[in-house]
Chain A
């Protein structure tokens, strides 16, 4: 009987290094990486262009000076009224939009039957609202808030006044217009936050004899706060740079005072850039001012966002401590 010679020598086992170069994986990683860096490059390009052109006139005097002396002259121009105006309209907008947006999202998620016709109409309306161009909001605000509500309020409250009090460009109308514009953002962010809360928590609360309202206020809403704040942050970011909605509803090219009442018109950073570029007697002289004004706007938006993010981080930390 012949034994079959054992000619097979086993390969060494620890042979884990890649022997084959995967070109497609490398290419894909490269392309996705390149796109990511492209975004950063574009951002740096924009910021760099603005800062390089504007920093020379971005001074403390610039930030705190008034606009009453030589708006177009880089030596004397100040943007304090514009900063106050922009900040005021953003803060007022937030006060209007967050309660309405949150309550709408609460109704859509917690109270309405998910398949009813009413809900589908509301969802459609929210989606459509998100797609409306900003200038249309501006016209709506002018027509509805200013001309309709404003003039009627004047007829009611100030029938003898010679000049319009409510029926003119005012902080309140601009803020309300912006609130209407950013409503979809807050609604969607709040809805996402509410949906991410596990249903078991609501069931546990109801099984203990809580009413739906108590469950929503004491269990659901506190859990959803970080998501709601995210909606607020997105709304702030969107509204800060918008000029079209405030064009007819509250922003003016010049106002001698800081806006103090809801009925006051205001100057605005974004709108001011437009004014500088179209109404300056000497555009070459004024150009650095444009960039400096934009820098002020970016800085203001950044600061408002940072404050909101800090508040949200604090809430998340408190929620995480309980997890």
Chain B
């Protein structure tokens, strides 16, 4: 089953820019991530898969330190992006989040116009000239494959768009500030199949410019979209390899059981 979904092209062996070293995360006393060690390559799509509660979203949120927002979270180990440990004491979290963007499971556009949704972050980071803003808004909307649909109503509310369009707006918003890495937490799970297909197309297109890490509970999606896949179970990394290998010839029985749908 997985054979015909996985692309036959070889997964690119670009430079590894995210080094996760023995990362453990505790919510109070409960351990959610157990000694995760993983290296993510540049300009490819890496998928995190696994059953509910396995820690894939938690790990994703570690990469842009969104877990800092939760009380009682403790992190052991390190995570290096571009050579710097993002949990180091001299790290500016704001700067980190500019370079590691995130798209959430439930689309969350601001209650502002489409234009302002994208301009919000641009203004925050110092862009003031209208011509610059206009150009960047257009570029972001084109990158998110949304420009043609909304170019005539940029000043209408972002919340007036359909679910799939809202999510593409959130993607446009995230790429507007030109991060290096884009984290996507189940971006299509709340969307219908047509909208999902558009998002997947977008991901394949965006990987030219960004490093993408996508969490998905949909294995077929992981197989379609990603170059590398990491399979998690109960907070542990079970297997990490090219998507082709994980889906057609996994090394661990657990992985095989999961991708063939025997559990999870």
Contact = CB atoms under 8 A, between A and B. Distances in A.
A257 interface: no
Nearest to A204: B108
A203 B113 contact: no
Nearest to A207: B102
A200 B108 contact: yes
Given A218-B120, A323-B157, A323-B159, A208 B108 contact: no
B110 A209 contact: no
A280 to B, nearest CB: 57
A115 B106 CA distance: 27
Contact of A322 (B98, B104, B113, B173): B113
Contacts of B98: 208-209
A237 B248 CA distance: 71
Contacts of A206: 66, 69, 97
Contacts of B112: 322
Contacts of A114: 71
Contacts of B106: 200
B177 A198 contact: no
Interface of A: 113-115, 198, 200-201, 203-211, 214, 218-219, 223, 319, 321-323
B50 interface: no
A88 B264 CA distance: 67
A198 B121 contact: no
Contacts of B66: 203, 206-207
Interface footprint category on B = 20 to 34
A223 B158 CA distance: 15
A138 B102 CA distance: 54
Contact of B104 (A115, A200, A210): A200
B174 interface: yes
A114 B110 CA distance: 25
A33 B141 CA distance: 55
A209 B97 contact: yes
Given A203-B69, A322-B157, A323-B157, A208 B111 contact: no
A113 B69 CA distance: 11
A79 to B, nearest CB: 45
A316 B49 CA distance: 43
Given A200-B104, A203-B69, A203-B104, A210 B124 contact: yes
16 contacts: A201-B110, A203-B69, A204-B173, A207-B104, A208-B97, A208-B121, A208-B173, A208-B174, A209-B121, A209-B125, A210-B121, A210-B124, A218-B124, A219-B120, A321-B157, A322-B112
A208 B64 contact: no
User: Which of A219, A223, A321, A322 has the most CB atoms of chain B within a 10 A radius of its CB?
Assistant: A322
B199 interface: no
Interface string B106-126: 101111110000001100110
Nearest to B173: A208
Contacts of A200: 104, 106, 108
A261 to B, nearest CB: 42
Interface string B90-108: 0000110110011010101
B133 interface: no
A214 B94 CA distance: 11
Given A223-B111, A319-B111, A323-B111, A207 B64 contact: yes
Given A113-B71, A214-B124, A204 B170 contact: yes
A210 B121 CA distance: 7
Nearest to A212: B69
B104 A204 contact: yes
Given A207-B101, A208-B98, 16 more contacts: A198-B108, A201-B110, A204-B110, A206-B69, A208-B101, A208-B121, A208-B177, A209-B95, A209-B98, A210-B124, A211-B94, A214-B124, A218-B120, A219-B120, A322-B159, A323-B159
A201 to B, nearest CB: 6
Nearest to B124: A210
A201 B158 CA distance: 13
Contacts of A219: 110, 120
B94 A209 contact: yes
